[in-house]
């Protein structure tokens, strides 16, 4: 499949006086991995639920595979919700078999280290294993689009690496991927990122585009506690890092104004996490 798989235009969702999603627009193309990045409560899950037709937007439009999010269109999508999305009173094999029959496909294979768990009730699995089974179920019918809401929640480092390799393999085969995360190491694996804060997009682009021009001042103080007090008084964000203090989103002159002379400081490129801290603070 080619072209735009997801087209979201100026979506708005209100819950009473609370605006959970505020005029968000984004696209996902075939073979592209787009990361929706934000803290808990930023609006990521609400946006996905509107995209899939599970919530009705108050304003704007969401199109899936060129049309509205109908049941027929959703059959071509692999969705992994934030919860496991599995039947806990069925075994792993029964869950995968049921999902495969719904889509008229063969039952998907589990990863090698999970093969011995096929007859285990899902309710007896640890969270990380449940997430991996849910991911296998989402991929089983070879969807045109994967929508993954915090897919690695509760998954160990090796499982996360395997899952991301599978995501990249699917994208290489032409599947579009929309994935939410608040892990910056995972965000770096996406082709394009959309930063959400309080329901609004603060910035979007590739990792290189996001990091372009972003700087952090690294400070090496003699008295960390006193320096932290000065920075707090000046209202500057600070990230402790192995004997240094890193101040994202400012230059040396701004740091000097807060700390005065006599403290060693140098301007360095920001990490993605530091850039995120800076960009989500943009009004």
| Model confidence, pTM | 0.88
Domain with 28 in it:
4-204
Residues 270 and 173 in one domain: no
For residues 186 and 261, membership in a common domain is answered with: no
pLDDT in the model for residue 55? 95
In three-state secondary structure terms, 71 is: helix
Calpha distance 192→35 (Å, rounded) = 6
193 forms beta bridges with 35, 205
- Domain edge (last residue) among 204, 234, 258: 204
Can you give the CATH number for the domain in which 25 is found? 3.40.50.300
pLDDT at 115: 80
Q: What pLDDT, on the 0 to 100 scale, is given for residue 106?
A: 84
Q: Residue 281 pLDDT > 90, yes or no? A: no
Query: Do residue 156 and residue 23 come from a single domain?
Result: yes
- Beta carbons within 10 angstroms of residue 268's beta carbon: 14
pLDDT in tens, 186-217: 999 999 999 999 999 999 999 999 999 899 99
* Residues above pLDDT 70, as percent of the chain: 98
- Structure confidence at residue 175 (pLDDT): 96
pLDDT tens for each residue of 235-277: 998 998 888 999 999 999 999 999 988 888 999 999 999 998 8
Q: Residue 2's pLDDT is what? A: 52
Same domain, 94 and 223: no
Final residue of a structural domain among 186, 204, 222: 204
pLDDT value at position 23? 97
Residues 132 and 268 in one domain: no
Indicate whether 197 and 242 sit together in one domain: no
* pLDDT tens-digit readout, 10-27: 999 999 999 999 999 999
The Cα–Cα gap between 139 and 165 comes to 13
Q: State whether 262 and 186 are in the same domain.
A: no
Q: For 145, list phi and psi in degrees, rounded to 5.
A: -140, 135
Residues 123-150 pLDDT 10s? 999 988 898 899 989 998 899 999 999 9
Residues 180 and 78 in one domain: yes
Looking at 204, 228, 259, the residue that finishes a domain is 204
The total of structural domains in the chain comes to 2
120, 178: one domain = yes
Taking residues 95-124, report their average pLDDT.
Answer: 86
242: CATH = 3.30.70
Q: Are residues 67 and 131 in the same domain?
A: yes
Of 22-31, 54-63, 104-113, 182-191, the poorest mean pLDDT is in 104-113
pLDDT of 44: 94
Q: Does one domain contain both 20 and 75? A: yes
Q: Give pLDDT tens digits for 80-106.
A: 998 878 999 999 999 999 988 888 888
Confidence band, pLDDT 50/70/90 cuts, at residue 185: confident
Alpha-carbon Rg for the chain, nearest whole angstrom, is 22
Residue 65 predicted with pLDDT over 70? yes
Residues 197 and 117 in one domain: yes
pLDDT score for 12: 98
Task: Please name the helix (run of DSSP H) or strand (run of DSSP E) that holds residue 79, with its range, or none.
Answer: strand 77-80
Task: State the pLDDT at residue 204.
Answer: 94
pLDDT value of position 283: 45
Burial of 38 (0-12, 13-18, 19+ CB in 10 A): buried
């Amino acid at each position: 499949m080619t072209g735009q798989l997801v087209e979201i235009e100026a979506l708005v969702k209100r819950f009473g006086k609370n605006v959970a999603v505020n005029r968000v627009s984004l696209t996902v193309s075939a073979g592209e991995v787009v990361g929706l990045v934000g803290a808990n409560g930023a609006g990521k899950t609400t946006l996905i639920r509107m995209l899939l037709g599970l919530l009705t937007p108050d304003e704007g439009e969401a199109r899936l595979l060129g049309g509205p999010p109908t049941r027929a269109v959703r059959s071509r999508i692999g969705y992994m919700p934030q919860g496991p999305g599995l039947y806990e009173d069925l075994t792993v094999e029964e869950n995968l078999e049921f999902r495969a029959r719904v889509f008229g496909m063969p039952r998907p294979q589990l990863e090698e280290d999970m093969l011995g768990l096929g007859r285990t009730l899902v309710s007896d699995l640890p969270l990380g294993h449940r997430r991996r089974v849910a991911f296998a179920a989402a991929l089983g019918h070879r969807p045109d689009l994967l929508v993954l809401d915090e897919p690695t929640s509760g998954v160990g480092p090796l499982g996360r690496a395997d899952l991301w390799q599978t995501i990249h393999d699917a994208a290489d085969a032409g599947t579009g991927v929309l994935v939410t995360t608040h892990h910056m190491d995972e965000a770096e694996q996406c082709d394009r990122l959309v930063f959400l804060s309080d329901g609004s997009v603060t910035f979007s682009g590739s990792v290189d585009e996001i990091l372009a021009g972003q700087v952090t001042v690294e400070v090496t103080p003699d008295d960390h506690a006193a320096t932290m007090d000065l920075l707090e008084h000046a209202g500057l964000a600070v990230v402790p890092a192995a004997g240094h203090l890193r101040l994202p989103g400012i230059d040396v002159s701004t740091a000097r104004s807060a700390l005065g002379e006599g403290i060693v400081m140098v301007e360095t490129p920001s990490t993605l996490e530091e850039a995120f801290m800076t960009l989500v603070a943009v009004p």
